[in-house]
Structure 1
Amino acid sequence: MMVAPAPDAAHADVSRTAVSIADVLAAQSRLDGTVVRTPVGQYPDIDRAAGTTPGTTVVVKHENQQRTGAFKARGATNLLLSMSDAERARGVVAYSTGNHAQGVAYAARLTGTACTIVMPDDPNPVKLRAVLDQGADVLLQGATFDDARAQATALAAASGARLVGAANEPAIIAGVGSLYLELFQQAPGLDVLVVPVGGGSGAAAAGLVASAVAPGTEVIGVQSAASPAAHDSWHAGTLLERANTTRAEGLAVGCGFEVTQALMRRHLADFVLVTDEQISTAQQLYLTGAHTVAEGAGAAALAAVLADPERFAGRRVGVVCTGGNASADELRRALGRADAPAPD
């Protein structure tokens, strides 16, 4: 099914919203001192779980240690720092299941910008509390990301505030690109990089940066099979909407977005799906094998590697733990996975 026209989805003018490696380099400079250069790590338990073939290694980029606990702080901060004083004076409105909300709220507090966040009803309490702690106003609206998007769009139109989407925003993609510049500096020689996809800013940025600085690295996107809109849009070559029922909030998006889809079509080698159960298994491995808290979206890239060991056999694989803002219920579910790989 085609997506109905939407202000920040199907009707983006890609010709006016292109992102280049020069934009990413400018964003990296602009963000200096406002975001963390997060570490990378390699863990024997994760390497063993990824496959028995000698030489298979997994390098983890720990964006769960980023300010706000997720990579979204990079893009939102770059966007707000790029705005004029007059634009910031009108305030911003964003919609999110949580991590984009925290990123925008953090950037708004940093720049003294009034900020309203629309989140779906019954949000992750960890993420809601963090948004409120940053001083943003929060409105709960609807059951899904897409319901929140519609309400935020209407609110911005009525108030004159700047609507800050999580996908069709070149400055956000450029800011996220700083993550991948760091990764390729910290872990050169990656054969493949696996990136989780919700709206697609991360995978769009990863593909863009890889093509410029690591053209030999294959970039693969991954999404939950319970919310496959971005995956299906990429494979179909057109924007689609799909059921949106994943537990992984950062992947819970029901439609494709034109700007990120255009970049992903240009730069991704493949786009795969994993189940929510496989994501929970990867979360458990992060906890037990890397002493790392990963929320569902943050574990999706590792889940894809664990689900297809033949594909990654003997390769140097990069994965990004994109966020660590997991609720207590989510962590209990992950630790209860009976079929999760256990350390030897």
Structure 2
Amino acid sequence: MTTSTSSSSLPDAPTFTDVLEARRLLAAHLPPTPSWTYPVLNEAVGATVWIKHENAQPVGAFKVRGGLTLLASLSPQERAGGVVAASTGNHAQSVAYAARQFGAPCMIVMPENANPVKAASVRALGAELVLRGAVFDDCRTIAAQIAAETKARYVDSGDEPALIAGVATAALELFEAAPRLDALFVPVGAGTGAAGACLTATAVAPECRVIGVQSAQAPAAYEAWRSGAPATLPNKTVIEGLSTGQSFKLPQQIMRALLPEFLLVDDAEIRSAQRLMLAAAHTTAEGAGAAALAGLLARREEYAGKTVGLICSGGNASETELAAVLAAPLTS
């Protein structure tokens, strides 16, 4: 699963066996995160809702599972050459955290207006931080160029089998806590989380319907899934973890085969869902972390009385974002 994506070839998709191997690797580094249900939220939604709390990870987001899995799979020589990644923040923290764990030099490229909470975390983890590019897609190009020039290992945020296998372990833990879910809502930026959830659900919970949720203000992944062709679309969302203007090949390959439903929700709906999570589930979620709840609220009537899972992918909200959350209307 260590195939580089710097060439035009697409690496092989991970299998559920790779997910199990990732869980074995991660056992030495991460305890399982909580999976909880909240009576007030259940009443507000009209369903039994299980939240998978990836906001409880050491970097505040699910992506650390993928970073550790990938760095664990590299040879000592590859680690010594260093890693380079681009991100709006959570992939950056994931790779920086894993690089520190395995003693690998690390450079991260983030947008010039990066979330200060995430940027500070990257620096604190010992990575070299480069603030260049207006949006994530610019950073991705810059990081790939730096990796090519320095011979470092470019760690793409989507087209990496080890990342997908690693983040898939979150869904596996949720199904172990709540094995009879009717549906599982998963936020989609690059699509690694949704792809991993599909792999896991197909293997251990085939009756569970996995549903991807993306911002309508950055719908590239949705359009690629819908049309079956790569997509590049305007990226106008303020939801950092969903801020992608281009689709990613490998997650799309998996989602087109295994994801039965994909929803678009407005940024305003995501902000309202963030506030509801804060009020009814005692959970500070960043925008992407509340997107799954926004998707469930958009399908509230369909899932009334059922048992539903939500991946809260992260909790790295800046003070500015939290102010916007508190100003948002409270969904009832």
Q: Please, what TM-score do these two structures have when normalized by structure 1?
A: 0.93
Alignment correspondent of 1:237 = 228
Alignment correspondent of 1:253 = 244
Deviations along 1:11-38, one digit per CA (max 9) or x if unpaired, are: 342xx42210000000100111212310
> How far off its partner does 1:10 sit?
9.9
Alignment correspondent of 1:17 = 12
The aligned length equals 329
Alignment correspondent of 2:33 = 38
For 1:66, which of 57, 70, 87 is the aligned residue? 57
Query: More deviation in 32-41 or 235-244?
Result: 32-41
Alignment correspondent of 2:123 = 132
**Gaps (5+ residues) in structure 2?**
none
What are the residue-to-residue correspondences of 1:192-211 with 2, within 5 Å? 192-211=183-202
Alignment correspondent of 2:105 = 114
In the alignment, residue 156 of structure 1 is paired with which amino acid? A
| 3-state SS of 2:262 partner | strand
> How far off its partner does 1:317 sit?
0.6
For 1:299, which of 283, 290, 300 is the aligned residue? 290
What percentage of residue pairs aligned between the two structures are identical?
51
Are the aligned partners of 1:285 and 1:340 in contact in 2 as well (CA < 8 Å)?
A: yes
Deviations along 1:236-286, one digit per CA (max 9) or x if unpaired, are: 011101111111111000111111001001111110001110000011011
Are the aligned partners of 2:6 and 2:154 in contact in 1 as well (CA < 8 Å)?
A: no
| 3-state SS of 2:301 partner | helix
Q: 2:267 matched to 1:276?
A: yes
Alignment correspondent of 1:48 = 43
Alignment correspondent of 1:98 = 89
Work out the CA distance in 1 between the residues paired with 2:91 and 2:238.
Answer: 17
Work out the CA distance in 2 between the residues paired with 1:171 and 1:294.
Answer: 25
In the alignment, residue 130 of structure 1 is paired with which amino acid? S
> How far off its partner does 1:135 sit?
0.3
For 2:159, which of 168, 172, 187 is the aligned residue? 168
Alignment correspondent of 2:277 = 286
| 3-state SS of 1:102 partner | helix
Work out the CA distance in 2 between the residues paired with 1:12 and 1:96.
Answer: 22
Alignment correspondent of 1:28 = 23
| 3-state SS of 1:122 partner | coil
In the alignment, residue 31 of structure 2 is paired with which amino acid? V
In the alignment, residue 36 of structure 2 is paired with which amino acid? G
Alignment correspondent of 1:151 = 142
> How far off its partner does 1:334 sit?
0.7
Q: Please, what TM-score do these two structures have when normalized by structure 2?
A: 0.97
Are the aligned partners of 1:49 and 1:306 in contact in 2 as well (CA < 8 Å)?
A: no
In the alignment, residue 274 of structure 2 is paired with which amino acid? Q
> How far off its partner does 1:49 sit?
2.2
Work out the CA distance in 1 between the residues paired with 2:173 and 2:273.
Answer: 24
Are the aligned partners of 1:176 and 1:205 in contact in 2 as well (CA < 8 Å)?
A: yes
Work out the CA distance in 2 between the residues paired with 1:12 and 1:104.
Answer: 23
Q: Could you list the structure 1 runs, at least 4 aligned residues long, displaced by more than 4 angstroms after superposition.
A: 7-10
Alignment correspondent of 1:4 = none
Are the aligned partners of 2:165 and 2:196 in contact in 1 as well (CA < 8 Å)?
A: yes
In the alignment, residue 39 of structure 2 is paired with which amino acid? P
Are the aligned partners of 2:159 and 2:250 in contact in 1 as well (CA < 8 Å)?
A: yes
Work out the CA distance in 2 between the residues paired with 1:35 and 1:327.
Answer: 24
Work out the CA distance in 2 between the residues paired with 1:26 and 1:187.
Answer: 22
Q: 2:175 matched to 1:212?
A: no
Work out the CA distance in 1 between the residues paired with 2:203 and 2:74.
Answer: 26
| 3-state SS of 1:143 partner | coil
In the alignment, residue 198 of structure 2 is paired with which amino acid? G
Are the aligned partners of 1:10 and 1:258 in contact in 2 as well (CA < 8 Å)?
A: no
Q: 2:172 matched to 1:181?
A: yes
Are the aligned partners of 2:6 and 2:144 in contact in 1 as well (CA < 8 Å)?
A: no
For 2:330, which of 305, 315, 340 is the aligned residue? 340
> How far off its partner does 1:173 sit?
0.5
Are the aligned partners of 1:10 and 1:239 in contact in 2 as well (CA < 8 Å)?
A: no
